Amino acid sequence: MTNILKGIKAGNPKSIAIAITIIENDLKDKGHIVKNIFPKHTKTHRIGITGPPGAGKSSITNKLIEKYRAENKKVGVLLVDPSSPFTSGAVLGDRIRMNNFYNDSKVYIRSMASRGSSGGLTKNINQVANVLESAEFDVVIFETVGVGQIDLDVVNSVDSVLVVLVPESGDDIQIMKAGLIEIADIFIINKYDRKDADKLNLVLKNMLSLIDKSKHVPFIVKTIAIDDFGINKLVKQIENHLKYLIKNKLLMKKHNDRYINSIKNILYQEYEEEFWNDKRKKILVKNLDKNLKDRKTPYEIINKLKSI
Amino acid sequence: MTNILKGIKAGNPKSIAIAITIIENDLKDKGHIVKNIFPKHTKTHRIGITGPPGAGKSSITNKLIEKYRAENKKVGVLLVDPSSPFTSGAVLGDRIRMNNFYNDSKVYIRSMASRGSSGGLTKNINQVANVLESAEFDVVIFETVGVGQIDLDVVNSVDSVLVVLVPESGDDIQIMKAGLIEIADIFIINKYDRKDADKLNLVLKNMLSLIDKSKHVPFIVKTIAIDDFGINKLVKQIENHLKYLIKNKLLMKKHNDRYINSIKNILYQEYEEEFWNDKRKKILVKNLDKNLKDRKTPYEIINKLKSI
């Protein structure tokens, strides 16, 4: 274990991989790792990339890796898949291209399967990012298909959220209204050479014009990722957003929120382990075996559980 | 307080309204209500209705209220809005029609604002449903714009999930793949008189044919809600789904899961209140005031907090 912790700090990809596997699968040594890898001193910029399937998230991620590598930055990429039987094929296909970086020791790419819709990834995403922070990565990118819980877990674990759209997304404006506007720090209109790109740009601009000016208004960046069009500008805007966060003490706030959440999660886990001893579990199960109408209410059973 | 609890059990709309307000806003008496309204004996069918904006969720809900009222059932409707500055107007407009039921004492309709993307609604949705169950409603409908966290909270709090689509949703098939298939018990293709309705039906059927036959395969119901087309069939399929849940002991499993979650939520809330006394809070704040690099790790501070 001590070797793994040392390995993480030294940036050893094998140690990182083992640590993430342990965290992801809730293995026995998880507690030990989680407790010891919390980065005290972080310079890592955590970036989330989300958007509908087919928008080109992977192409954008690929280009960002290239740009950051050209600046000699260490880049970690975590691909968060919803564990759907329908998406996995296509998604993996997209991602094969990332193998370009296979021999680059300063690029770490890893797929993480989510645990369905139950939100079991919440704590994990942040903890996995902590592993890469401890290994002193300059940038950590979370790429996720924009779906429900997973999305929000990523949003809460990163500093800057990039939402990738395509000109065809214009029809989905209603959907966007309801969810993406609130989480985006930067909008990317990818595949900008396609029909209706300007139209989406306009629609988006109009929507953003409604946002209270005292808040951060998301940038819009036009890209054609596969042609490397707009990517330098994107890198610049990502940097600008980080500066904005620092200037307004929002980065510190994000760090503090994650710090407090880590404390609460560890505390709660310890509390749960302590509270649910065999005797208490038996009482709960016995109560669950009864018909609904004969059961104690949750409050009644808590009183009983606490009294022993 | 005793009056409110009595009022809920008697089905008094004012008592119900006060209780929900208290729960929604985390007011002082919340604990007292939550502890005392857990329904021991429930016959309530909890239904969730979700789908993209504009799909006609409110029209479907309206029609369902009508049908259930014709069977003399008591119906509660909870409209869960994402608190987005962009959607509120349109959504409220849609819902004015529900005023039809204003004078019907056996229909209770209520809007609930969500708390942004932070998931503050999670516990509340279940607790609010418990209020209506205690008031012996036969059906409780949660209507929600299909967005992230809110959606999942609703899914976890209901017995049957209805996903409403429109023929135009065919273009969003990729989005659907990633999220809606997993949560739907019944698919509704509404506005079925529109172009491409059959196409969406086919696409959906093909997707559903991939589902493991040992699991529940969602029904597809074709409707034109405003013309009352397909609604009787929908009511029938909702009933069939409930029968399926009962037959396979899945309804009992849902009740058990919600029961266990209620216990864990109450326990955790009590633990948090107990743990975070002023002395401990001060230590945390003092640590947060330090630079990142001078801070204790979460684990170190937990050890300190526990030692006092």
ipTM > 0.90 for the complex: no
Provide the CATH number for the domain around residue A166.
Answer: 3.40.50.300
Top-ranked range on mean pLDDT: pick from A107-111, B170-174, B229-233: B229-233
Residues A226 and A287 occupy one common structural domain: no
B18 inside domain? no
How many residues belong to chain A? Answer: 308
Cα nearest neighbour of A251 on chain B: B292
Q: B293: exposed, middle or buried (C-beta count within 10 Å: 0-12, 13-18, 19+)?
A: exposed
Q: Tokens at residue B80, please? A: 């869960």
B100 phi and psi, to 5 degrees?
A: -45, -35
Contact B178 A292 (CB under 8 A): no
Contact B259 A295 (CB under 8 A): yes
**Host H or E run for residue A48:** strand A45-51
B215 inside domain? yes
Residues B183 and B303 occupy one common structural domain: no
What is the per-residue pLDDT for B285? 93
**For residues B172 and B176, what is the distance between their CA atoms, to the nearest angstrom?**
6
Domain that holds residue A115: 39-248
Contact B36 A155 (CB under 8 A): no
What is the per-residue pLDDT for B117? 39
**For residues B125 and B156, what is the distance between their CA atoms, to the nearest angstrom?**
9
Residues B302 and B221 occupy one common structural domain: no
Residues B235 and B282 occupy one common structural domain: no
* Model confidence pLDDT, tens digit, residues B24-60: 877 888 888 888 887 776 789 999 998 877 788 889 9
- Counting as low any pLDDT under 70, the low residues of chain A are 41, 81-99, 113-123, 145-152, 170-179
Report the share of chain B in percent with pLDDT over 70: 84
- Residues of chain A with Cβ-Cβ distance to B277 below 8 Å are none
* Model confidence pLDDT, tens digit, residues A81-135: 654 433 333 344 445 456 677 778 899 988 876 554 444 455 678 888 999 999 9
Of A54, A294, A301, the CB nearest to B174: A54
Nearest CA to B172 among A32, A211, A169? A169
Residues B295 and B211 occupy one common structural domain: no
B187 inside domain? yes
**For residues A151 and A114, what is the distance between their CA atoms, to the nearest angstrom?**
11
B33 inside domain? no
A137 inside domain? yes
B94 or B252, greater pLDDT: B252
What is the per-residue pLDDT for A151? 65
As for how many domains chain B has, the answer is 2
B268 inside domain? no
Residues B280 and B174 occupy one common structural domain: no
**For residues B235 and B241, what is the distance between their CA atoms, to the nearest angstrom?**
10
A175 inside domain? yes
Cα nearest neighbour of A269 on chain B: B268
* Model confidence pLDDT, tens digit, residues A247-272: 999 999 999 988 898 888 888 888 98
Cα nearest neighbour of B41 on chain A: A293
Residues A282 and A240 occupy one common structural domain: no
Contact B172 A172 (CB under 8 A): yes
Residues B185 and B233 occupy one common structural domain: yes
**Host H or E run for residue B152:** helix B148-157
Residues B114 and B230 occupy one common structural domain: yes
**Host H or E run for residue B11:** none
Q: Please say if the pLDDT value at position B103 is more than 90.
A: no
Residue that finishes a domain, picked among B248, B266, B294: B248
What is the per-residue pLDDT for B74? 96
Task: Pick the residue of B50, B175, B269 with the most A CBs within 10 A to test the interface with A by mutation.
Answer: B175
What is the per-residue pLDDT for B50? 85
Nearest CA to CA, how far is B41 from chain A (Å)?
5
In the block, tokens 């989300």 appear at: A50
Nearest CA to CA, how far is B103 from chain A (Å)?
32
What is the per-residue pLDDT for B275? 94
- Residues of chain B with Cβ-Cβ distance to A155 below 8 Å are 117
* Model confidence pLDDT, tens digit, residues B242-255: 999 999 999 999 99
Report the share of chain B in percent with pLDDT over 90: 42
What is the per-residue pLDDT for B170? 64
Report the share of chain A in percent with pLDDT over 90: 42
A161 inside domain? yes
Residues B43 and B189 occupy one common structural domain: yes
Residues B156 and B286 occupy one common structural domain: no
Residue that finishes a domain, picked among B210, B231, B248: B248
- Residues of chain B with Cβ-Cβ distance to A178 below 8 Å are 52-53, 82, 84, 86-87, 145-147
User: What's at A136, amino acid-wise?
Assistant: E
What is the per-residue pLDDT for B144? 81
- Residues of chain B with Cβ-Cβ distance to A272 below 8 Å are 264
**For residues A259 and B297, what is the distance between their CA atoms, to the nearest angstrom?**
8
Cα nearest neighbour of A55 on chain B: B174
Contact B292 A260 (CB under 8 A): no
Contact B178 A54 (CB under 8 A): no
Cα nearest neighbour of A289 on chain B: B256
Residues A167 and A283 occupy one common structural domain: no
